[in-house]
Amino acid sequence: MGMTMTEKILARGAGRESVRPGDLVLAKVDFAMGHDLTIPPAGKIMREQMGAEKIWDPDRVAVTQDHFQPAKDAASATLGRLTREFSHQMGVKWYFEVGQGGICHTVLPENGLVLPGELVVGADSHSCTYGALNNFATGIGSTDLACVFALGELWFRVPESLKFIYHNRLKEWVEAKDLILYVIGQIGVDGARSKAMEHTGEALRHIDMEARLTMTNMAIEAGAKNGIMEFDQVTKQYLDGRAKRPYTPVTSDPDSEYEKVFEFDAEKVELGVAKPMSPDNYAPLSEVAGTRLDQVFIGSCTNSRITDLRRAAAVLEGHKVAPGVRLIITPSSHQVAIQAEKEGLIGTFLAAGAAWTTATCGACLGGHMGVLGEGEVCLSTTNRNFPGRMGHPKAMVYLSNPAVAAASAVAGVITHPSEVLEKMPAGLA
């Protein structure tokens, strides 16, 4: 019996010929990540409770200051300081200070730190993002991260794999975000609980790496352990000049076993949103068009990379944010911000009347710079809209792609981008 990509990576990490779904293995970790909310407890558990003095391999660890940084209050300044001190004392090689990194799930791929064939863990649920680069990547807790820091190993239950095949190509205006929202709408927020989501098919061959990262980013919103994609020319080109280590891609064997295979016609997927208050509450855009908005947020590890900002800027160019609406745009990394500046996108945003912020998780988790009040309605390019995620438990959050978000900010209500921009410029569509 053959193995899936996920099984092969876990088998290699465990030093075994093969593994089967359900096996519990101790596996070596290739790369680990933590941030300002998860490093302080992990560091404390590792040093004070486990009695470890150093990190197993400081060259294979990244730490970002992204969730509540730049510090939103005195308590988060303490978390930032503990994160900084721990990274410095442990000699963490890939430490990203405020103003030099950004959101972990953008920073790690753009710096070539998470590579094909690798076993990657991050103390953040959206660590599944990295799987678009053909690795096994999963979110873990702080005690888990402390264990990895101390030993370089962690326990895993080998997941059953689910295969998602996307036939044909996405049509005009429809983005990777719409596709993954549609899929989660079909299978539910626990539809892939503890399982591997393996994405494949023609539609993926025609989307770029940033769009792929948007899809694997949301694996956790279906409850999955990881999301993973095949290695191809798009992967290779993205990694050329970026990859910090040599790497070996993995492929699923033709006779590997899937618990279930889902097939979708990508061409039939419509522009859509997740309605309040769950990421699986999918609706076609036409059903919610006209919904009045208080805030639009373009940001997060899901949809605020440079291609996302280019699409938002194309829509906003020459337009103004509607009265009564505030548009907040938060790039997902410092590199993204530098590129946006070079391309003149920031000028477009500012002229439109948008608030442009530093790279941070910010409003996505109701941290700072855009927290929602009671009864407010927000359209957001982020990943989850459970009650209270972006602030008050009675705030209403819709999830969409960046072009829809930008168009809706201009209209003041949820709007199809074609009502603001005739056609997405070639290269951005």
Site for other proteins in 10-29 (CB under 8 A): 24
SS3 category, 258: coil
Q: How far is the CB of 193 from other proteins (least distance, A)?
A: 6
Neighbours of 167 (CB within 10 A): 13
Q: Between the CA atoms of 138, 141, 143 and 146, what dihedral angle is there, to the nearest 10 degrees?
A: 50
Instruction: Supply the DSSP string of 336-357, one letter for each residue.
Output: HHHHHHHTTHHHHHHHHT-EE-
Kindly provide the b/e burial profile for residues 361-375, where b requires at least 16 CB atoms within 10 angstroms of the residue's own CB. bbbbbbbbbbbbeee
CA angle 232, 237, 243 (to 5 degrees): 105
If one asks whether residue 216 binds other proteins (CB under 8 A), the answer comes out as no
CA 257 – CA 413 distance, rounded (Å)? 46
**Contacting residue, 18, 21, 50, 291, with other proteins by CB under 8 A:** 50
Q: How far from 374 is each of 73, 132, 189, CA to CA, in Å?
A: 22, 36, 25
- State which residue, 64 or 415, has the beta carbon closest to other proteins: 64
Binding mask 340-369 for other proteins (x = CB under 8 A): -------------------------xxx--
Interface region with other proteins, contact rule CB under 8 A, candidates 84-92, 148-156, 262-270, 313-321: 148-156
- If the CB atoms of residues 98 and 207 are measured against other proteins, the closer one turns out to be 98
Instruction: Say which residue the tokens 């997927």 belong to.
Output: 269
**Taking CB under 8 A as the rule, does residue 223 contact other proteins?**
yes
Among 108, 146, 316, 410, binds other proteins (CB under 8 A): 146
Q: Does 58 bind other proteins (CB under 8 A)?
A: no
Please classify residue 148 by burial: count the beta carbons closer than 10 Å to its beta carbon, then call 0-12 exposed, 13-18 middle and 19+ buried.
Answer: buried
Cβ atoms of 373 and 339 closer than 8 Å: no
Counting residues that bind other proteins (by CB under 8 A) gives 53
Q: Name which of residues 259 to 278 contact other proteins (CB under 8 A).
A: 278
Q: Does 85 bind other proteins (CB under 8 A)?
A: no
**Contacts to other proteins from residues 184-213, by CB under 8 A:** 189-190, 193-194
**Position among 13, 101, 139, 402 found at the interface with other proteins (CB under 8 A):** 139
Comparing CA positions, the residue from 418, 389, 407 lying closest to residue 279 is 389
As measured in angstroms, the least distance from the Cβ of 147 to other proteins is 5
Binding part of the chain for other proteins, among 9-17, 133-141, 310-318, 402-410 by CB under 8 A, reads 133-141
Contact positions with other proteins (CB under 8 A) in 293-312? none
Nearest to other proteins of 162, 321 (CB atom): 162
Q: Shortest approach of other proteins to residue 95 CB, angstroms?
A: 19
Q: Quick check: 107 and 333 in contact, CB under 8 A?
A: yes
The b-or-e profile of 191-228 (16+ CB within 10 A means b, else e) is bbeebbbbbbbebbeebebbbbbbbbbbbbbbbbbbbb
Nearest to 266 by CA among 205, 218, 203, 204: 203
Q: What part of residues 62-81 is at the interface with other proteins (CB under 8 A)?
A: 67-68, 73, 75-76, 78-79
Q: How far is the CB of 279 from other proteins (least distance, A)?
A: 10
* 150 touches other proteins by CB under 8 A: yes
Complex with other proteins: residue 140 or 313, whichever CB lies closer: 140
Q: Does 151 bind other proteins (CB under 8 A)?
A: yes
Instruction: Give phi and psi for 380, each to the nearest 5.
Output: -135, 145
By residue count, the chain amounts to 429
52 in contact with other proteins (CB under 8 A): yes
Torsions phi, psi for 179 (to 5 deg): -65, -45
Angstrom distances, CA of residue 74 to CA of 99, 174, 184: 19, 42, 38
Among 21, 70, 353, 387, binds other proteins (CB under 8 A): 387
**Residue number, 185 or 201, with CB nearest to other proteins:** 185
Q: Out of 21, 58, 70, 141, point to the residue binding other proteins (CB under 8 A).
A: 141
Closest CA to 204 of 240, 187, 229: 229
- Closest distance of CB 86 from other proteins, Å: 13
Query: Given the structure tokens 């990881």, which residue do they identify?
Result: 226
- Binding residue for other proteins (CB under 8 A) from 58, 347, 353, 388? 388
CB of 199 to other proteins, least distance (A): 19
Contact status, residue 184 vs residue 86, Cβ threshold 8 Å: no
Interface positions with other proteins (CB under 8 A)? 24, 37-38, 40-41, 44-45, 49-52, 67-68, 73, 75-76, 78-79, 122-125, 127, 139-144, 146-147, 150-151, 155, 157, 189-190, 193-194, 220, 223, 225, 278, 365-367, 384, 386-389, 393-394
